[in-house]
Every structure is written in C-alpha cells, then in structure tokens.
Structure 1
Amino acid sequence: MAKLTSLFQISIWLLAERVSCGSIAAWWNSRGPSFIMQDDDTGGIRYSLCNGNHTPIFPDDKTLAAPFYNFIPKNKTSLAASGWTDSETAWASIFYMDNNDEIVNALLKCDWNTGHWINTGEYVTSGGSPKVSPTSALSVVLLGSVDGYRLYYNDLEGSLHQIGYTTATSWAYYGLVSNDKTSSQAIGTTFSKKNITVVRPRDDNNIGVSRLYSDNLWHLSTFPAPLAGSNATNITQSSNLAPNTTAANFTLPSWSGSASALAVSIDSAYTRSVFYIGGDRAIHQVGNKNYAWSVFEQTSATAWPLADTAGGAIGIANAFGNDALRLYYVSNGSVVEANGDGGTWSDATVLATFNASQAAGSTTSGAAGNTTAEGAGAGGEGLSDGAKVGISVGVTLGVIAVAGMGVTVWFLRYRQRKLDEKNAAAGGEGPALVAGAVSPGSAYVGTSDKTVGSRDDGYAAVPQGYNGQNVYAQQAYSPQQGAEGYVYPQQGQDGAWVYGGANGEYNAQQQQQYYYQQQQQQHPHELAEPERPAELMGEGHYKEVP
C-alpha cells in the first residue's frame, strides 16, 4: 500500500500546475495591483486578470498570455510595466525586449467583460540609444500626464542609461545615468514627483544608488559602504568610483550581488525601501529613513514565505498616496502576494486562480459532496484488501491518464497559439502601426480621472509641459567635455544625437556611434497622473527636483 500511495502522490503532482517564472513586473492603479510575468516554459507573458479589484486573479492557464504581433518578446526578457484606469477601462503599458534586443513598448487595453488584455499597438523605444545589453533588466516610472515615462536599462558595458517619453515629444534618449560598475543586471526604481531613485547591485557587498537632483545631474552613492570622495555624478569616470569599505556600518543580509531583481518602494513618510531575495531564499528589506540606510527587521515567515529560487524574480506594486505595497514572487511553485499595506505585513497569500465569490454556490456543493463521500468511506468495512488495492490502482491509473490528457491538451493549445502569433505577424494582422512608429502617440486619450491620486478636474486637452529632451540635453548633457574627461553627447546640424569617443573610461571599448532623430507626431492627450508631493532634501544635501 505504501508504494501505491507514493504512486498516487506522484500522479497528483503531475496534475499540479507549478509556475515556471522568469521576470515579474507589477503596478498599481485605482482598482488595485496588477502584474505580468514571463513563463519560462512557454515564453508567453502571463498576466493577472485586468478586471480584478484590490487582489489580482491569476488564472491557472499557461495559454492565457498577452497577444503580440509585430515584436514578439524574446525568451528570458526582462519586464517593466505601469498602468492606470480611465472612465471606461484599465490600461497597461508594458516594456520588454524582442529578439533583436530592442526595447519595445506594448499598450494594452482591458476587455472588461473577459478580464483579458487587448494589444492596441507595439512600439520600439530604444532606437538611436546606446545598444541595450541582451541581458539587461528594465525598469520604468510613469511621472504623470505631462512628463510621461522614464525607462532605465544597462548598455553593453554595464553603464546605466535613460530614455523618456513626454506628451510634447516622442521617445528620446535622455543620457547616461551612472557609469559605476554593476555586479548583475537588476534595476529598481521609484519616484515622488520628478525625484527619481534608481538602484542596482554594485558588488558582493553594496548596492548602488542614482538620484536626480535639481541641477539636472544624477548624483551617485552606495550603501552600506558610501562612495569615497564626494559629489560623484553621472559624469564621473567609473575609475573614480569606489566605496569606502571602512565606513560601512552594517552589512546586507544574505547578499552576493547577483540578485536578478530589485523591488523599490516609497511610502508617505518618504522612506525608500529596497527589497530583494537573498541567497537564503528569504525576502530582505533595506530602507533609507532620515537620510540613512539600514537593514529593516525581517518579518515573519508567514508574511514573507521563502522563495523557490535564491536571488530570484520579484515584482512590486506600490501606491505612494495610500501607502499600498504588494510584493509578488514564486514560493512553493505558486505566485504569492505579500501585503505590506500601511507599513504592516499580513500573511502572504497564494493568488486566486478565479473569483471565488462568483463560484460560491459550486464550492458549497462540492464541500457537501466531499462530506458525503467521507461518510460512505467510513462505513465501508466490508471491502476486502484486494478490493481496496483494486480501487487504489484504478484511481492512480485514472489520474495518470487525466494528467497525460491535460499535458496533451496544453501542448496543442500552446502550439496553436504560437502558430496564430506567427501567422498574424506574417500576415500583418493585429494592431496596425504607422510607418516608423516609435511611440504610442494618440493611443493615450481620454481623461484619467480615476487614476490613483488623480486630480478631480482632470487634465487639459493639450498639456503644456517642459520638453524633457531639451531640458536634459541642454543642461545635464551639454555638448562639451566634462571635467573628468567624459565627452557629452552632441547634437548635429540635422538634429541627430551623436555619441563620439570619449577620453574617459566610459567609451574605452569604443562603442559605435549612435544617432537619434526625433520623430514628431500627433500629441497624445492624456497619461496617468500619479500625484506625489516633492521630497525633502536628500543625501548629499542637494536640493532635489520640485
């Protein structure tokens, strides 16, 4: 009987749907959190239902994936995402890398009846920027309806770069963020107003931080060990960036510098936190409070259950205005949600695969049926040992057969979905893109008056905001040689950005020149407007962007 029991347990395991997770990205809109993840087995971008409320519903169906037509996500791509709601539905703006290692933005619209995402267009955003590392992480912030997106990535040499999109311009390269070294490709970001913080693993002891200040330069720091010297910025050569190891007053727990993802949050008290999965598979939190970084106390194992993979993927949905904070990662084969709303961590939950409230009747019926079956079993003393063995064998073989059928059905559905995507791409089906499209353009329409923290009176039809590219190009990246040998990007007579060889270490490997010719287009009307008040003075005692 022991062998039969073991065989039965194996057959049950075959039926269980364990999540095979690559990158995870999450965001918060007025209805609550949403997330996407790439399935390592299928390569599809799976998602929580877009018509959920407060808690994501994650169907147990690997074939339910976001549709792509012109630029298919490559396997092992990083993911970044933001989202909002308007008066009609929910929207998601997701970023990934295609098989040409270009960064692509897909704008998804929610079908409120089914909870499925509809692809309204895909747009290459990295054209003309320094070449993206094939293994780069991606991280994005949506600053608001006027200031748009800022997207961060690593280049071939490991330097951190920024591209952006505003309502006044299309996608543009905004320049170098950090030339400091990095020990893995992970990138995490958070912001309040235009005060942006970007973090990366620096080495096996430290995390690197880049912050945008009002002088339009990125100011660099590290923790636990601070950088030697002072006032390091994005124009400082990497050879002049080194932590002062003797000044570290704490150590990062279970940190090796190889984490594949960093999750960054900010609360209403302006405390910034960095979350990562350590080598011990546990969640760890390091925070900056009163301008000093420190390790925060680890919460209970029920609130932060162990992850399946050391240094694995983790996503975060954070709403500054109401202190909402959710972490998403894989534990025991399932996607779990760790809830830290209001600064208090409750027990983590495995994401529901369906809306339980809509299936309450069937659940009750099933429970009654189980009770009845157990009662009948208790009175089955007349069954012989041979009959019991026969039943056990029959059930086991039946379960194995069902499992085999399930695998076959899944494979056929997955193959058909891939064929449909291939045919759609070849035949030009799906959302039509204008020639040379490099940004979402007029897809962003309507008044985002139901977005978290949005103003009651909505937004002007044609927002009047600063030209993000000009601000960065003329002030932070003016065409002149830097004090430490770095040559800034220069704008040619045709308006193209030219990245020539530099005297500094940044271009030591002689990257080829890259050009960007800004594409003007119809202005979009609206983006979401996450309302985040200006921060206090930050590290280095520089006044930050208001």
Structure 2
Amino acid sequence: MARSAHEGWHLRHWAAFLSLPAPSLCGSMAAWWTDLGPSFVLQNASTGLLTYSLCHSNNTPIYPQDPPIALRTTYAPKNGTSLAATGWYDRIGSTWASVFYQNNNDDIVNAVYKCDNRTGLYEPQDSNVISDRSGTPNPHTNTGLSVTLLGEQEGYRVFYHDRAKALQSLQFKATDGWSYGDPVSGNTNRSSMEIHSMFSGVRNVTVVTPRDAKNMETARLNVDSTYFIETFPTPLRGGLNNTSASNRTSFPYDSSATPSFELEAWDGDPKAIGIAIDTDLTRHIFYIGTDRAVHWIAAFVSARVEGGFRAQAGQNTEVWPLADEPNSDFTIASHIESSSIRLYYVSGGRIIETKYRDGNWDSATPVETSNTTVIIEEGAGTGNTGLTTGAKAGIGVGVSVGALLIGAAAAAFWILRGKKATSPDEETTTAVDTAAAAGPPMSQAGSQDATSFRADVARTGSGLNGDKWDAEVKDTPITPPPRELESPKTASELPEANDRNELPTKHHVPELP
C-alpha cells in the first residue's frame, strides 16, 4: 500500500535518527514559555535537523527519542546555526511556535508552526527569509540569534550580529511586516557570538552578550528607542555616549575601576548565554563555564533602583548537575509572573531540566521522553482556571491568507464528504479527524508584508501583570493562574470573552534608572 508524502517524510527522517543518541549530538538550543509551560527546540549536530519537544505537553516538555521528531523546513538550516524561538497559545486553543535560524546562504529565516493537539506535532504554516529587507546589514556567517516577543502592536525583535560583529535588530510589526529595526551595539570587539534577550514590559528589553575573557555586555532599550550599553564586572568609561546612537565600534573600559567580582570559570567563549527577568524586575544571567558548572549572576531591584550585577551562590550537583562539556550549550525558558525559570542542557548523556520557582531551585530531573501530560482535546486550553489580563498579548505571525483559505476549503470539503459517507453515529468523529488532518498547507515562500494574515493570538505566556497593560482596555475579569502548576492538570476550555489586549503603554511601568 502506498504511503502518503507526509508519512514518507517522517519515515525517512526517523530512520536517520534511529541509530543516533540525539542528546549527545545536541547542537544549538532554544526555549520559550507559553500558557502550557516551557517548550524547546534543538538542532541535531549530526543530521542538522531541528528536533523539538511535543507541542501538546503540559507544564513540562516531553522530548521523544524513539524516534525524535523534527520540524519540516522550507529552507534547510545550516549545520551549527544559532537558534531562537518564541511561541504562544491562542484563544481557540492552538499552540504556535515561531522559530529563527540561519540557512546555508547565511540568511536569517523565520518559520511559523501550529500544533496538532492530537499528535503533538508542529505543522508548518509559513516560512520566510527576513534578513533581506531594505537597509538590513548582512548577518555574520556565524551570528548568534535571539528573539523577544513584545506583544500585539510591537511584535517581534530579533537580535543578530552583522559581518563586523556589531549587534543589530530586525523587527516585525503587525502593521508593517518585517523590516530592519535599529542598531543595538556598535561594539565589534567580541569574543563570542552568543546572544540572549528578555522583555519585561513597556519596551524594556535587555540583550546580553559575551564581551571578552573577563566581561559581559548588556544593551538595554531606553524610552528614547536607543540602547544603553554597559559592561560588567568592569564598567565602561564614564562621560562617553555609551549608547547605540554613538556610532562607535569600540567602548573602552574604565581603567581606574576595580571590578567588584570575577566571572568564575569564564573564558569569554561560551556556547550559550541566557537571561531571565522575574516579577521584581531582577535580571538573572546564566552561563555554563569551563568547569562544566552552571553559573548565575543577578542584578536586584530595591526601592525602584537596580543594583549592579553580582555573582550568586552556586548550587549542588543535585540541582545543577555538571554539563557533559565545558562551556556547554543550554537554553532557558522563563515566566515573569510566577518568577519561574527553567534551564535545559545535556548532563550524563541526557537532557535535564532544573527549575527555579518561589525563590528556590528544585533538584534537576531528566526531560521525559513519553507524554503523560498532554492536552486531550483539540481546542482545549490550559490547566489553569484563567489568566491575568497581562498574559493576553497578541502578535501577527505572517501566515499567508491563501494558505489558510486553502486549508479551510480542504477541511470543509472533507467534512462534507465524510458526512455523506458515514453513519450518523460516526459523523462527528470522522469530521473532526479529517478536518484536523487536512490542516493548512505550506504557503509559497516569499516576502512577508503588512497584508499577511494576523493570527488571533490571545495569550503569549509573558506573565505580565494586568496593571502593566493599557488601562483603557476592557476585559471580562478572570481568575489569575497559580504561580506554578505543581502537577499535570487536564486542560479546560478557554473563556469565550478572552479578547486580545493592547501592548503595554509606557505610563504604567517606568523605565528603571
């Protein structure tokens, strides 16, 4: 019996995986948080394929290995590409993922996927090269990548290195589509190409990168749309315009300053760096050092004033097992509202998860390979009884109108055909199954613009409190979620009154000094 093209694709790629221990071949990684909890994607260092955790797992990622599953891509990712990803959970109960990588031409590609809640597999919706927009500096051949999801109006910011190693940005706005954003840091003296970024409300974005064998660099978005450049432990020389507007390629240190601490086991060349921001607006930075241990730095806020970054106490190996390699790759997912942080990296040949919540670290556990916490019904919501107003941001994702119309037409055709061919008792089941199986096909690859379809994304899992959002927005009150899902819970239907809210406005959360 002939197999479908879809089945054939999976069989070919599963065969490539069967003899490969995927975690030990782990390349770059990326993670994000939605209302279902964290998810991650990683590149298999041998095949170059982008494998991922099941998209319908609840609270804890499930990463199949027998066999692994891989994203279907229009543009093949280059082996060794940096990865960035974000995602959201929409108001009709669908999980979406937006993944960024470099292809073999060194272009930056954005691929958008929608979850099939029955199987846990992502189905491709759209894929575009986004670094070909007018005025965009060419990406470095080994650029780092990071993405931050700001909300419905402000959309995405994607951070990357240009050919000179200066830090640049691309942006997607619902009204304009993809375009070149702004320069972030003109510094070209960098020891490594890793990037990570985090958004904490009101366009307050921090981007962190390695600087050299003793220091890191942060670029923080100001209310005037420029980025303020800082380094630590050694500060930059004062009296200079250390911002993205300075048009300089070098930012000298303050040679008279004595660093208050040292970056332990740091040589300036990690395979990854990560940042998370909690409810109190504390900025947490992580890296895995030359000693294979996780290291943690934080800048705490007191009376609305942020102190400088300081090294934090390490954890024992039950909490932070040693990574399998020095300077090991890892990925981080965080949830602002619950101050939850998850770290994922390879230890003992397996991907492990370590959790920070309520101010404490839990012992690390291996990421499960079989799914015991899935959404049972298509269109189901989260296990939470509701969401804070601030969790309901939206974003246009650039899915082709044509693709959705074709998908809808196909679904309708098969539903009608199924009704004619089945008995009354079988009609409902057959219609649901065939409609889901006939999901929207890939659109033609091409430029993404302001006319692209805007998916109704109700919830990003950003965790921003309601008082950080536009006070003019009216919404039906709903019960806030617990700080953390302590055990798997059956998903519930989304309230029908969950309309999207506007992006937060700057008069609610002032910029930190």
Shift of 1:432: 2.2
Match of 1:261 among 253, 272, 282: 272
SS at match of 1:247: coil
Match of 2:356 among 340, 351, 371: 340
1:135 corresponding residue in structure 2: 142
SS at match of 1:317: strand
- The aligned amino acid for 2:218 is V
List per-residue Cα deviations over 1:153-191 (Å, max 9, x = no partner).
Answer: 001111000110011111111121101221100001111
- The aligned amino acid for 2:88 is W
- The aligned amino acid for 1:41 is S
Higher helix share: 1
Match of 1:190 among 174, 193, 198: 198
Match of 2:242 among 223, 229, 232: 232
Q: TM-score, normalised by structure 1?
A: 0.67
List per-residue Cα deviations over 1:256-302 (Å, max 9, x = no partner).
Answer: 00012111000001100110010001000111113211001111211
Match of 2:253 among 225, 243, 247: 243
Q: How many residues align?
A: 388
- The aligned amino acid for 2:107 is E
List per-residue Cα deviations over 1:216-258 (Å, max 9, x = no partner).
Answer: 2111110000001234111335465112243311111111000
1:169 matched to 2:180? The reply is no
SS at match of 2:358: helix
- The aligned amino acid for 1:77 is T
Contact 1:454–1:529 at 8 Å: present in 2 too? Answer: no
Q: Which moved more, 1:59-68 or 1:224-233?
A: 59-68
2:30 corresponding residue in structure 1: 25
1:374 corresponding residue in structure 2: none
Shift of 1:450: 7.5
Shift of 1:315: 0.8
Q: Which moved more, 1:262-271 or 1:315-324?
A: 315-324
Query: Cα distance 1:530–1:80, how it changes in 2: closer, same or farther (>3 A)?
Result: farther
Contact 2:109–2:129 at 8 Å: present in 1 too? Answer: yes
Query: Cα distance 1:173–1:248, how it changes in 2: closer, same or farther (>3 A)?
Result: same
- The aligned amino acid for 2:225 is N
Contact 1:107–1:440 at 8 Å: present in 2 too? Answer: no
1:321 matched to 2:331? The reply is no
SS at match of 2:267: coil
The CA distance in 2 between the partners of 1:15 and 1:103, in whole Å, is 28
Q: TM-score, normalised by structure 2?
A: 0.71
Task: Give unmatched runs, 5+ long, in structure 2.
Answer: 1-18, 301-305, 375-439, 474-498
Contact 1:124–1:439 at 8 Å: present in 2 too? Answer: no
SS at match of 1:93: strand
Match of 2:210 among 191, 194, 201: 201
Query: Cα distance 1:16–1:63, how it changes in 2: closer, same or farther (>3 A)?
Result: closer
1:121 matched to 2:126? The reply is yes
Contact 2:287–2:295 at 8 Å: present in 1 too? Answer: yes
Shift of 1:527: 8.7
Query: Cα distance 1:164–1:324, how it changes in 2: closer, same or farther (>3 A)?
Result: same
- The aligned amino acid for 1:80 is A
- The aligned amino acid for 1:333 is G
Percent of residue pairs identical:
36
2:308 corresponding residue in structure 1: 292
Q: Aligned runs of 1:93-492 on 2, under 5 Å? A: 93-128=98-133, 129-180=136-187, 181-193=189-201, 194-230=203-239, 231-238=241-248, 240-245=250-255, 246-289=257-300, 290-356=306-372, 431-433=442-444, 436-438=446-448, 442-449=452-459, 451=461, 453=463
CA RMSD of aligned residues (A): 2.7
Query: Cα distance 1:137–1:33, how it changes in 2: closer, same or farther (>3 A)?
Result: same
The CA distance in 2 between the partners of 1:439 and 1:279, in whole Å, is 44
- The aligned amino acid for 2:149 is L
Contact 1:320–1:532 at 8 Å: present in 2 too? Answer: no
Query: Cα distance 1:356–1:226, how it changes in 2: closer, same or farther (>3 A)?
Result: same
Q: Which moved more, 1:447-456 or 1:109-118?
A: 447-456
Task: Give unmatched runs, 5+ long, in structure 1.
Answer: 1-13, 359-428, 464-525, 542-546
Larger Rg: 1
